C-alpha cells in the first residue's frame, strides 16, 4: 500500500469522540494511522482542507462483489398472475448464472470496479463473504486461493482494506449434494476447507490491510458435524466468523424438519455464536433466538436494501439491539451501495413495523456504519477519528440539494437521514487520499469500469 508519510488534514466539521460534531478539527496522520487530533480555528499551512462534515471511514460488513452484476436485472416484474414477480429463489438462479461465468481475471476486474464504487461511497473496509473458490466444475485452480487473491488485489487497487471471509460451503441444501454452479463453492469437507483457508491466512499473516476470517455459508450449506472444524479454525486465528442466518422462512422450516431446532439454536449448540461471530440477516428469529444471539454477544449484520429487494422480511433489530447484540450494516447483493441508505433503513423499517419513531439516534446509526462495523471485520482500531485509529476520513458535502441547510451541531442527523453516497466528496483511507471531488484518484472513471466488467459477463 502506498502511503503518504506524516501529514495533516483540517476538517471544517468532524464527528469526534465521544460523539459530537466539532468545527475546525486538525487530524495528524503518520503513515496509515492517526497520531493526534486537535482543534484549530483555521487550516494551518500545508494541511489538506476537508470540506463539509468529516466522518470516520465506513465499514461494509457484508459483500458479495459479483452480485453487483445483477443490479437492474432481477428486481421482479409485476404480472396479473404473479408468475413474473420472482422470489429469493428465482433471484438465486440468476445469481448462479453469473457465478458460473467468472474466472480469476473477470472476477478481478469486476471486484475492482465494485470496490471503487464502495470507496466513492465512503467505505474504507469491506467484508467479502467469499465462496467462489474453485473452477466452474469444482476443480481447484493451480493456485487454490487465486479467486481470493484477486479480491485482495482488487481491494488494494481500489484503496480499501479487506476482510476475506473464507466461506465453508459443502451442501446444496440440507442433505443435498452441491450441483450446477454450486460445484465451485465446495471443498469437499470442512477439513479440506481449513487446509485451503490456512494457506490463505498464511499468505497474509504479515499484512496489516488484510484480515482472513472464516464464514459458515448457512445451516443449509454446512452440516452440523462439520461446524466445529470451522469454529476451531476461527478460534485458533482469533479471526472473525460470519454466518448467514434465517434470511428466509424456508431455511427455518427446513432446519426444524431436519434437526428439530431453529437455525439459531443449531448454531448455538455447535459453538458458532460468540463475541467474534457476526450473524448476517437474522431476519426470522423467535424470542429464544434473540436471546441466544444477544446472550453470546454475537454481532448482527443487517442488510436492509437487499432484504427489501429480495422480500426477506424485517428482522427484530431493535429487540436484538436492546438485548445487547451490536448491530452493523452491509450492502450484501449491492442492489445499491450506500451505507447511509442502509443505516436510515434500519431505523425507518423499524418505524413502519412498530408504528413508533426514535429507535436509534443518528450517532448510534453512524456507530453501526463505522466503529462497530470495523470491529466485526477484525479491525478493532478503526472507525473513530481519534489517536491510534486507522486514518480513514470520509467527508460529506453539506451544500448539496439533499444536505444543504443543516443545523451544524446536528450535521450527523443530516448526513444519516438525508445524505447519500453521492454526497461523499472526499475519502482518505488508511492514510491515503483515494477520492476527491467525488472522483476516484486511482481508478478514474469507476462507472466505465463497472460497465466494461459487467458487459464482459
Ligand atoms: Zn450474503
Q: Each residue of 87-113: pLDDT tens digit?
A: 888 888 889 989 999 999 999 999 999
| 286 annotated active-site | no
Q: How far apart are the first and last CA of the chain?
A: 29
- Position 263 scores a pLDDT of 98
Based on the structure, what is the number of domains in the chain? 2
Given a cut of 70, whether residue 21 has pLDDT beyond it is: yes
Joined grid coordinates for residue 395: 467527508
3-class state of residue 311 by DSSP: coil
Instruction: Characterise 396 by phi-psi region: left (phi > 0), alpha (psi -120 to 50), beta (else).
Output: beta
> Which of 254, 309, 332, 413 is the catalytic position?
332
Tell whether 75 and 140 lie within a shared domain.
Answer: yes
Tell whether 317 and 173 lie within a shared domain.
Answer: yes
Q: What is the pTM of this model?
A: 0.97
Residue 39 CA, ligand 1 centroid: distance in Å: 41
Cα separation, 309 vs 87, in Å, equals: 10
Tell whether 203 and 335 lie within a shared domain.
Answer: yes
- Using one digit for the tens of pLDDT, what is the confidence trace for 40-76? 999 999 999 999 999 999 999 999 999 999 998 887 7
Quote the DSSP letter at residue 181. Answer: G
The CA radius of gyration of the chain, in Å to the nearest whole number, is: 21
Tell whether 21 and 77 lie within a shared domain.
Answer: no
Residue 297 CA, ligand 1 centroid: distance in Å: 21
Pairing between strand 299-302 and 20-30? unpaired
Task: For residue 445, tell me if it sits in a domain.
Answer: no
Query: Which domain does 369 fall in, by range?
Result: 58-376
The residue with cell 483555521 is 42
**What is the CATH number for 191?**
3.20.20.140
CA 449 to chain centre: 21
Tell whether 64 and 158 lie within a shared domain.
Answer: yes
Pairing between strand 20-30 and 6-16? antiparallel
Residue 435 CA, ligand 1 centroid: distance in Å: 27
pLDDT mean across residues, the chain: 96
Task: For residue 1, tell me if it sits in a domain.
Answer: no
Instruction: Characterise 138 by phi-psi region: left (phi > 0), alpha (psi -120 to 50), beta (else).
Output: left
- Using one digit for the tens of pLDDT, what is the confidence trace for 367-419? 999 999 999 999 999 999 999 999 999 999 999 999 999 999 999 999 999 99
Task: For residue 446, tell me if it sits in a domain.
Answer: no
Count of C-beta atoms within a 10 Å radius of residue 225:
10
Residue 309 CA, ligand 1 centroid: distance in Å: 13
- Position 41 scores a pLDDT of 95
Cα separation, 85 vs 149, in Å, equals: 37
- Position 93 scores a pLDDT of 87
Residue 248 CA, ligand 1 centroid: distance in Å: 12
Joined grid coordinates for residue 72: 437492474
Question: In the predicted model, what is the mean pLDDT of residues 333-362?
Answer: 97
Tell whether 151 and 295 lie within a shared domain.
Answer: yes
> Which of 133, 204, 244, 281 is the catalytic position?
281
- Using one digit for the tens of pLDDT, what is the confidence trace for 139-181? 999 999 999 999 999 999 999 999 999 999 999 999 999 999 9
**What is the CATH number for 11?**
2.30.40.10
| 198 annotated active-site | no
Cα separation, 329 vs 242, in Å, equals: 13
Residue 243 CA, ligand 1 centroid: distance in Å: 9
For 206-359, where are the alpha helices, taking DSSP H only? 224-236, 249-259, 263-269, 287-295, 304-309, 317-323, 339-354
Tell whether 405 and 359 lie within a shared domain.
Answer: no
Task: For residue 252, tell me if it sits in a domain.
Answer: yes
Q: Decide if 247 contacts 283 (C-beta within 8 A).
A: yes
Tell whether 336 and 409 lie within a shared domain.
Answer: no
Residue 168 CA, ligand 1 centroid: distance in Å: 13
Residue 259 CA, ligand 1 centroid: distance in Å: 23
Strand partners, 49: 10
Residue 279 CA, ligand 1 centroid: distance in Å: 10
Tell whether 402 and 312 lie within a shared domain.
Answer: no
Residue 130 CA, ligand 1 centroid: distance in Å: 9
- Using one digit for the tens of pLDDT, what is the confidence trace for 170-220? 999 999 999 999 999 999 999 999 999 999 999 999 999 999 999 999 999
Residue 333 CA, ligand 1 centroid: distance in Å: 7
Tell whether 314 and 180 lie within a shared domain.
Answer: yes
Tell whether 68 and 51 lie within a shared domain.
Answer: no
Amino acid at each position: 500500500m502506498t502511503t503518504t508519510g506524516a501529514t495533516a488534514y483540517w476538517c471544517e466539521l468532524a464527528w469526534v469522540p465521544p460523539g459530537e460534531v466539532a468545527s475546525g478539527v486538525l487530524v495528524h496522520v503518520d503513515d496509515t494511522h492517526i497520531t493526534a487530533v486537535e482543534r484549530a480555528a483555521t487550516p494551518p499551512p500545508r494541511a489538506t482542507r476537508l470540506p463539509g462534515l468529516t466522518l470516520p471511514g465506513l465499514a461494509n460488513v457484508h459483500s458479495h462483489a459479483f452480485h453487483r452484476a445483477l443490479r437492474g436485472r432481477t428486481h421482479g416484474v409485476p404480472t396479473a398472475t404473479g408468475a413474473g414477480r420472482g422470489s429469493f429463489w428465482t433471484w438465486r438462479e440468476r445469481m448462479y448464472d453469473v457465478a458460473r461465468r467468472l474466472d480469476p481475471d473477470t472476477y478481478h476486474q469486476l471486484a475492482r470496479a465494485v470496490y471503487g464504487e464502495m470507496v466513492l461511497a465512503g467505505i474504507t473496509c469491506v467484508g467479502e463473504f467469499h465462496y467462489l473458490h474453485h473452477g466452474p466444475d469444482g476443480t481447484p485452480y493451480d493456485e487454490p486461493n487465486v479467486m481470493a487473491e484477486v479480491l485482495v488485489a482488487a481491494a488494494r487497487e481500489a484503496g480499501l482494506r479487506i476482510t476475506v471471509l473464507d466461506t465453508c460451503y459443502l451442501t446444496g441444501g440440507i442433505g443435498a449434494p452441491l450441483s450446477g454452479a454450486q460445484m465451485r463453492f465446495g471443498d469437499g469437507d470442512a477439513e479440506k476447507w481449513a487446509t485451503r483457508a490456512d494457506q490463505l491466512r498464511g499468505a497474509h499473516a504479515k499484512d496489516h490491510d488484510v484480515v482472513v476470517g472464516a464464514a459458515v455459508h448457512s445451516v443449509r450449506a454446512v452440516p452440523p458435524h462439520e461446524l466445529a472444524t470451522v469454529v476451531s479454525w476461527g478460534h485458533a486465528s482469533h479471526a472473525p466468523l460470519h454466518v448467514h442466518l434465517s434470511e428466509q422462512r424456508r431455511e427455518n422450516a427446513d432446519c426444524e424438519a431436519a434437526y428439530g431446532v431453529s437455525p439459531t439454536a443449531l448454531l448455538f449448540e455447535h459453538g458458532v455464536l460468540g463475541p467474534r461471530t457476526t450473524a448476517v440477516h437474522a431476519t426470522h428469529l423467535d424470542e429464544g433466538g434473540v436471546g441466544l444471539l444477544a446472550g453470546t454477544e454475537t454481532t448482527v449484520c443487517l442488510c436492509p436494501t437487499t432484504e427489501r429487494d429480495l422480500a426477506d422480511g424485517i428482522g427484530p433489530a431493535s429487540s436484538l439491539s436492546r438485548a445487547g447484540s451490536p448491530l452493523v450494516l452491509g450492502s450484501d447483493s449491492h442492489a445499491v451501495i450506500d451505507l447511509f441508505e442502509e443505516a436510515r433503513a434500519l431505523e425507518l423499517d423499524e418505524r413502519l413495523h412498530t408504528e413508533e419513531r426514535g429507535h436509534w439516534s443518528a450517532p448510534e446509526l453512524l456507530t453501526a456504519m463505522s466503529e462497530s462495523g470495523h470491529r466485526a471485520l477484525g479491525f478493532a482500531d478503526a472507525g473513530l477519528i481519534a489517536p491510534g485509529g486507522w486514518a480513514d476520513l470520509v467527508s460529506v458535502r453539506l451544500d448539496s440539494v439533499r444536505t444543504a441547510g443543516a443545523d451544524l451541531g446536528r450535521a450527523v442527523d443530516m448526513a444519516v437521514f438525508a445524505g447519500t453516497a453521492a454526497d461523499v466528496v472526499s475519502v482518505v483511507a488508511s492514510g491515503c487520499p483515494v477520492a476527491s471531488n467525488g472522483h476516484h484518484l486511482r481508478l478514474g472513471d469507476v462507472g466505465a469500469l463497472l460497465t466494461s466488467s459487467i458487459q464482459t459477463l
